Homo-oligomer: A and B are copies of this chain.
Amino acid sequence: MLTAEIIAVGSELLTPERTDTNSLWLTEKLNEIGIEVKLKTIVGDDEMRLEETIRDAVKRSDIVITTGGLGPTEDDVTRQVSAKAIDRELVYHTELEDDLRTRFERWGREMPEINKRQAYVIDGSDVLPNPNGSAVGMFARVGEKFLAVLPGPPRENQPMFIDHVLPHLKEVAGTVFVKRRNLRVVGLGESALDEAIAPIYTAYKSVQTSILFNKTEVEVQISATDTDETAAKRTADELADKVVEKLGVAVFSFNGETMEEVVGKLLTERGLTVSLAESCTGGLIAERLTDMPGSSKYFLEGAVTYSNGAKISRLGVKSETLDRFGAVSAETAEEMAVGMRERAQTDFAVSITGIAGPDGGSEEKPVGTVFIALADAEGVRSMKFVFPGDRYLIRWRSSQAALDFLRRRILKANEK
């Protein structure tokens, strides 16, 4: 099995506030092709320590990947230090400078002189294009070993790794196949889930199954390894199918898709539309739904009715309802959904009203109390939740529950 080391570069990663997270994604991709990560280093903009780290890593491990430190400023040292660590020179590429100038022109800005530094690359290395930023990457062979030098931002290094590093590594790693399935579950706790499915996954000795907790969801990660690709896939799928059978509709994602992706796909497939009336989530549900390209097909509009006045004038909530039951009530939520659906003329309207905190809770309605309503051609129904957590988590969990309410409704409509 080939071994890898990952080196994250940047003094900000050595502060109490920040930590390297690039390596998690890279580790996943490397593991998928049977490469094991043996060591990770986080080093600042410190030429001596970085050089020693790269030099040692190349000695010890088959594949070394650095992330970060390729920016244009003085304290971005990875370019020259990585060259030095493998005893190479940096060479200047005119076409890289030309390309940089063109980019800056397109943004309507003149290229600062210091960006010229980004036109230098390690002698004899492949230049890895970066469509999402100004720093190109580099891929160098060092004897039998490989050094990949990537920019820090995930939006730059991830596509670069997939397009230009992974194909090389696959070739080198040969044939070990790791097939993963990632099931995401809503409405079930970590231990309840484990109790339910442990008898299933423990029977698969060659499969690694992890249960991870992440904000509002629990994930079941299944990872089957085999020298035969079909067999690896078959084992992963078989175990995943059994887990899905056991858990039913609580599994909303069969391959790691987000809730907004799943809901968007269901709406698109059925040609249905939705509108939203949000209070405590303040636009978060709309933001999540519209994060998907193509969401304008199914999402027509949303109202963020934070004040009572807005609930009345924008959604037609009755002021008697607000007086009698309060803004945070099933009655208000239902009127919000019905009013939104009438105005937007959508198949579904989802509304939400609640107390995200930290203030505003009472004995009867503590912080975390949330009402979600869904209106469609058949009428309106609502649900009450009391979510634990801080303001951020309560808002996030509310948005997840609202989207899940819609998901279950669409699936149910389908059964008929």
Report if A390-B132 is in contact (Cβ < 8 Å); known contacts: A14-B37, A282-B286, A343-B313: yes
Flag the segment in A87-95, A138-146, A302-310 that touches B.
Answer: A302-310
Report if A287-B282 is in contact (Cβ < 8 Å); known contacts: A49-B60, A210-B12: yes
The reply to whether A39 and B43 contact each other, CB–CB distance below 8 Å, is: yes
**What residues of B have a CB within 8 angstroms of the CB of A304 in the complex?**
276, 283, 286, 290, 301-304
Interface: A101 (CB within 8 A): no
Copies in the complex: 2
Query: Closest Cβ of chain B: how far from A58's Cβ, in Å?
Result: 13
A310 to B340, CA, bound (A): 12
The reply to whether B44 and A39 contact each other, CB–CB distance below 8 Å, is: yes
Query: Closest Cβ of chain B: how far from A289's Cβ, in Å?
Result: 7
The reply to whether B309 and A109 contact each other, CB–CB distance below 8 Å, is: no
Best-buried of A71, A73, A211 by chain B (most CB within 10 Å): A73
A287 to B289, CA, bound (A): 13
Chain B, residue nearest A110 (CB): B192
**What residues of B have a CB within 8 angstroms of the CB of A211 in the complex?**
73, 75
The reply to whether A189 and B109 contact each other, CB–CB distance below 8 Å, is: yes
Query: Closest Cβ of chain B: how far from A199's Cβ, in Å?
Result: 13
Interface: A391 (CB within 8 A): yes
Chain B, residue nearest A36 (CB): B14
**What residues of B have a CB within 8 angstroms of the CB of A109 in the complex?**
189, 192
Chain B, residue nearest A393 (CB): B155
The reply to whether A17 and B11 contact each other, CB–CB distance below 8 Å, is: no
The reply to whether B52 and A60 contact each other, CB–CB distance below 8 Å, is: yes
**What residues of B have a CB within 8 angstroms of the CB of A299 in the complex?**
282, 306
Report if A31-B16 is in contact (Cβ < 8 Å); known contacts: A56-B56, A284-B287: yes
Interface: A388 (CB within 8 A): yes
The reply to whether A19 and B14 contact each other, CB–CB distance below 8 Å, is: no
Report if A27-B56 is in contact (Cβ < 8 Å); known contacts: A213-B71, A282-B295, A286-B283: no
**What residues of B have a CB within 8 angstroms of the CB of A390 in the complex?**
132, 155
Query: Closest Cβ of chain B: how far from A359's Cβ, in Å?
Result: 7
Interface: A395 (CB within 8 A): yes
Mark interface residues in A377-398 (1 if CB within 8 Å of B CB, else 0). Answer: 0000000001011111101000
**What residues of B have a CB within 8 angstroms of the CB of A306 in the complex?**
290, 295-296, 299-302
Which residues of A, 160-209, contact B by the 8 Å Cβ criterion? 189-192, 194-195, 198
Report if A307-B303 is in contact (Cβ < 8 Å); known contacts: A14-B37, A42-B39: no
The reply to whether A40 and B41 contact each other, CB–CB distance below 8 Å, is: yes
Interface: A157 (CB within 8 A): no
A221 in complex: contacting residue of B17, B190, B295, B358, CB < 8 Å: B17
Interface: A25 (CB within 8 A): yes
Chain B, residue nearest A282 (CB): B290
The reply to whether B303 and A73 contact each other, CB–CB distance below 8 Å, is: no
Interface: A413 (CB within 8 A): no
Interface: A243 (CB within 8 A): no
A412 to B56, CA, bound (A): 56
Interface: A105 (CB within 8 A): no
The reply to whether A38 and B14 contact each other, CB–CB distance below 8 Å, is: yes
A40 in complex: contacting residue of B38, B42, B358, CB < 8 Å: B42
Best-buried of A23, A52, A190, A358 by chain B (most CB within 10 Å): A190
The 7 A-B residue pairs with the shortest CB-CB distance in the complex, in nearest-first order: A282-B290, A283-B283, A283-B286, A302-B304, A301-B310, A16-B28, A283-B287
Given A14-B37, A14-B39, A282-B289, 6 other A-B contacts at CB below 8 A? A39-B44, A72-B191, A109-B189, A282-B286, A284-B287, A290-B304
A selection of 5 A-B contacts at a CB cut-off of 8 Å is A19-B20, A39-B41, A278-B283, A293-B358, A313-B343
